[in-house]
Structure 1
Amino acid sequence: MSVHKTAIVGGGIIGLAVAREIVRNAPDAEVTVFEKETAVGTHQTGHNSGVVHAGLYYEPGSLKAALCRRGVGLLEEFTHRHDIRYDKCGKLVVAQSTEEQVRLGGIHERAVANGVPGIRMISGEEIRDIEPNARGLAALHSPETAIVDYPAVARALATEIETPGGTVRLGRRVTRIQERSSEVLVHSDGSAESFDLVIACAGLQSDRLAVSSGEAAYPRIVPFYGDYFVLDAAKTDLVNGLIYPVPDPKYPFLGVHLTRTVDDTVVLGPNAFLSFGREAYRRGRISFPDTVSAIGFPGFWRFAASNIPAAIRETRTAFSTRSFVEQARAYVPAITTSDVHRGPRGVRAQAMNRDGSLEDDFAISGTARTVHVRNAPSPGATSALAIAEHIVREAFGRLDMPIQR
């Protein structure tokens, strides 16, 4: 089956990567990206700390592990080609207790199995050789974990789409995708346009677009905001790279950590708290439809009931700067509340199932001509170019089209 006209809904890093992958695999196809904002990469792509994850945590042999490791290589090559800063600043995952040391050993085993380069366990004394101001009983050092400018990556992807003749339409909100016997209609701002293949990568709005197009109601997106504090410029030398806590598998969110960004600032965070708007990046902004949707979803309350300790911790950080900074001080004691000021906020599109469980795997639904990417799990930005290969391979497979590359 041939595909002459293809539409991608969503101008975030994954949608753009998918469009670029189609341009590369089907050079004769007309590729159009619909993005409701006036620039690409303005939502999750543009509201994160810019970390390029190395693949420490994922189950060896899993799709997430494979896509992460391939994605890192593709992303590094892409940034070098486009002269985008890519800094292998390194990462420490720091254990503060013997229980965390045990879990850290398991992470080390997974990282080795996943082929993470240079990974090694170090002692508490060795931590200071890498991060002189950090403290802990032991740590896992990943020297090639990097940071990057993801919005710049998104802009470069848009260029690679448009240069051979593709189109990125900004300010075009898609409200519905309607499949007919021989075409798919994309309804956008009061008009409808016909395509042969449509792939929706709508991020924070992915479930709503899927449901309006006739797909199932679940998984549903529940938005969680993450606040960042910024370390004052005079104190940025307290942190050289990335300092992370040991993940607790009982809880879904990592907790506050410290990250140097590509503009040489240092941020603390993010925390994770229910957002009162799917796109509420400014504090105090509330979307009543989004809030009612979230708190009226029984799955959210089932999730909250099963994560009470984490909810208490995150509530403290949401309402107390001191509590927020104290989490960071566990790793870098020299930081004080007077050394930080409020920074940006991100919103995470957390896919949640009806029973309150979090969807931690890819959720792709639809038909041969309409594909809805309802969840592209973390590390989505890191793996974006590899995720695009996976999505396009699946979409073309449904149409019995060969992959040319």
Structure 2
Amino acid sequence: MQILIIGAGVVGLAVARAAARAGHDVIVAEAADAIGTGISSRNSEVIHAGMYYPTGSLRAALCPRGNRMLYDFCETYGVAHRRCGKLIVATNDAERARIEAIHAQGRINGVEGLELIGGNAARDLEPDLSCIAALMSPATGIIDGHAYMLALQGDLEDHGGAIAFETPVERLMPMRNGWRVRFGGREAGHLDVDALVNCAGLSAQRIARSIEGYPAARIPKQVLAKGNYFAYAGRPVFTRLIYPTPVDGGLGVHVTLDLAGRMRFGPDVEWIASEDYNVDPARAASFYARIRTYWPGLPDNTLVPDYAGIRPKLTGPGEPAADFMIDGPAEHGMSGLVNLFGIESPGLTCSLALADDVVTRLNA
């Protein structure tokens, strides 16, 4: 079967690799001139463990499995990563109840190694931390996201797959035994394929609207949540990721580390109407306030605007968080078509498990 994957971000590359390894003829259409230029290049590069997500959700099913698959992939393909662990901290009794609930949910989800510890035990691990309790997750880690995507691309190409860069998809038309895809760009034209997977990230809804005959009612709204990051100008004081209890739209302004040893804070949640990647230095004031709830010793004038990412959410402020949406033939009734909507965090962690799920749906 010839399959076209739309989008060469981390999820698109993982789906393409899985399809190629399953013996399919795979082409990836990417509008940009390189892999991973969108959502995949602007995140925390965290390997999540999966303790937050409600029972029965795709996130709850895919994240713990994807976590284990991703560590195995990194070991096999030599992708730089570190299983540094993380602490979700409580600074008052209400937050203690929240992390106890997260602990219980994580155990239901099959997350390995979770442990509730007291404030003194947390400070023994991280002396600069201020909290009354913490949930320790040893399965959480960090990864070189670009190296991971390069490894996916390499394995895809080793199995006969290819990526067509600067190839924007303009129209998708069902035919008797497959699909006709119309492309723009320098080599505009069309291609006939057996199946399609829409992994276009921020453009997923736009691509879906270009599919002839696809039910418009099945295309969910898209709400953009910008996440700003600030770098810390001093030497890192934490050796693990430090997370507050979750907030509306995200997991709170947390401590992130990278493999080069740098420490940064973010992301926050800034609801926006259109794509904008500028970090407003004035937002630092709210960062100082949030960070000092768990690190009172944060010095003044040490936060520097770093970068921003945008999450393609399916629900907005004040609404219950939506799950990933995988819309396949069983749902919409059109053969050989899978649309992925709202694939945000923990999309990188879930990518390998998500890819297997998508290929299974195409083969059904």
**TM-score for both structures, normalised by structure 2:** 0.91
Pair 1:338-2:301 in alignment: yes
Deviation, 1:57, is 1.2
Once the two structures are superposed, what CA deviation does each residue of 1:174-225 show, in whole Å capped at 9, x if it has no partner? Answer: 1221112223111111311110111111100000110121432531222221
- Partner letter of residue 230 of structure 2? F
Rounded Cα–Cα distance in structure 1 between residues aligned with 2:319 and 2:99: 28
Rounded Cα–Cα distance in structure 2 between residues aligned with 1:13 and 1:82: 16
1:258 to 251, 255, 260: 255
**TM-score for both structures, normalised by structure 1:** 0.82
- Partner letter of residue 136 of structure 1? C
Q: Is the 8 A contact 1:255 1:269 kept in 2?
A: yes
When residues 93 and 61 of structure 1 are mapped into structure 2, their CA distance, relative to the original with a 3 A threshold, is same
Deviation, 1:261, is 1.5
Pair 1:222-2:223 in alignment: yes
Rounded Cα–Cα distance in structure 1 between residues aligned with 2:4 and 2:300: 48
Could you tell which deviates more after superposition, 262-271 or 374-383?
374-383
Task: Show the counterpart of 1:112.
Answer: 107
Task: Show the counterpart of 1:182.
Answer: 177
- Partner letter of residue 221 of structure 1? Q
Rounded Cα–Cα distance in structure 2 between residues aligned with 1:386 and 1:320: 36
Q: Is the 8 A contact 2:170 2:182 kept in 1?
A: yes
Deviation, 1:275, is 3.1
Task: Show the counterpart of 2:235.
Answer: 235
Deviation, 1:357, is 5.7
Aligned counterparts, 1:267-346, within 5 A: 267-278=264-275, 280-283=276-279, 319-346=282-309
Task: Show the counterpart of 1:165.
Answer: 160
When residues 337 and 368 of structure 1 are mapped into structure 2, their CA distance, relative to the original with a 3 A threshold, is farther
Q: Is the 8 A contact 1:205 1:221 kept in 2?
A: no
Rounded Cα–Cα distance in structure 1 between residues aligned with 2:289 and 2:296: 9
Task: Show the counterpart of 1:372.
Answer: 339
Q: Is the 8 A contact 2:57 2:323 kept in 1?
A: no
Rounded Cα–Cα distance in structure 2 between residues aligned with 1:38 and 1:195: 22
Task: Show the counterpart of 1:16.
Answer: 13
Q: Is the 8 A contact 2:82 2:142 kept in 1?
A: yes
Once the two structures are superposed, what CA deviation does each residue of 1:228-274 show, in whole Å capped at 9, x if it has no partner? Answer: 00011x321x12111111125xx233321111122211111111112
Deviation, 1:363, is 3.7
Q: Is the 8 A contact 2:311 2:344 kept in 1?
A: no
Deviation, 1:347, is 0.9
When residues 228 and 283 of structure 1 are mapped into structure 2, their CA distance, relative to the original with a 3 A threshold, is closer
Deviation, 1:369, is 1.8
Rounded Cα–Cα distance in structure 2 between residues aligned with 1:114 and 1:356: 23
- Partner letter of residue 165 of structure 1? G
Runs of 5+ unmatched residues, structure 2: none
2:357 to 378, 384, 390: 390
When residues 358 and 192 of structure 1 are mapped into structure 2, their CA distance, relative to the original with a 3 A threshold, is farther
When residues 178 and 356 of structure 1 are mapped into structure 2, their CA distance, relative to the original with a 3 A threshold, is farther
Rounded Cα–Cα distance in structure 2 between residues aligned with 1:343 and 1:267: 8
Rounded Cα–Cα distance in structure 1 between residues aligned with 2:303 and 2:172: 45
Deviation, 1:343, is 0.4
Once the two structures are superposed, what CA deviation does each residue of 1:93-118 show, in whole Å capped at 9, x if it has no partner? Answer: 00111111112111111222323222
Aligned residue for 1:172, secondary structure, equals coil
Q: Is the 8 A contact 1:61 1:114 kept in 2?
A: no
Q: Is the 8 A contact 2:279 2:307 kept in 1?
A: no
Rounded Cα–Cα distance in structure 2 between residues aligned with 1:102 and 1:52: 25
- Partner letter of residue 154 of structure 1? M
Could you tell which deviates more after superposition, 342-351 or 59-68?
59-68
Deviation, 1:76, is 0.7
Q: Is the 8 A contact 1:282 1:345 kept in 2?
A: yes
Pair 1:200-2:198 in alignment: yes
Q: Is the 8 A contact 2:230 2:264 kept in 1?
A: yes
Once the two structures are superposed, what CA deviation does each residue of 1:45-65 show, in whole Å capped at 9, x if it has no partner? Answer: 110011111111123454322
Pair 1:153-2:148 in alignment: yes
Rounded Cα–Cα distance in structure 1 between residues aligned with 2:127 and 2:310: 32
Q: Is the 8 A contact 2:230 2:304 kept in 1?
A: yes
Rounded Cα–Cα distance in structure 1 between residues aligned with 2:21 and 2:62: 19
- Partner letter of residue 231 of structure 2? V
Q: Percent identity?
A: 33
Runs of 5+ unmatched residues, structure 1: 285-317, 398-405
Once the two structures are superposed, what CA deviation does each residue of 1:301-349 show, in whole Å capped at 9, x if it has no partner? Answer: xxxxxxxxxxxxxxxxx84322222111111111134112110111111
Once the two structures are superposed, what CA deviation does each residue of 1:131-189 show, in whole Å capped at 9, x if it has no partner? Answer: 11111111101122101011211111111111122111111111221112223111111
Q: Is the 8 A contact 2:312 2:344 kept in 1?
A: no
Task: Show the counterpart of 1:246.
Answer: 245
- Partner letter of residue 381 of structure 1? L
Rounded Cα–Cα distance in structure 1 between residues aligned with 2:274 and 2:300: 28
Q: CA RMSD in A?
A: 2.0
When residues 320 and 198 of structure 1 are mapped into structure 2, their CA distance, relative to the original with a 3 A threshold, is closer
1:212 to 205, 210, 213: 210
Q: Is the 8 A contact 2:128 2:238 kept in 1?
A: yes
- Partner letter of residue 296 of structure 2? P
Rounded Cα–Cα distance in structure 1 between residues aligned with 2:121 and 2:169: 53
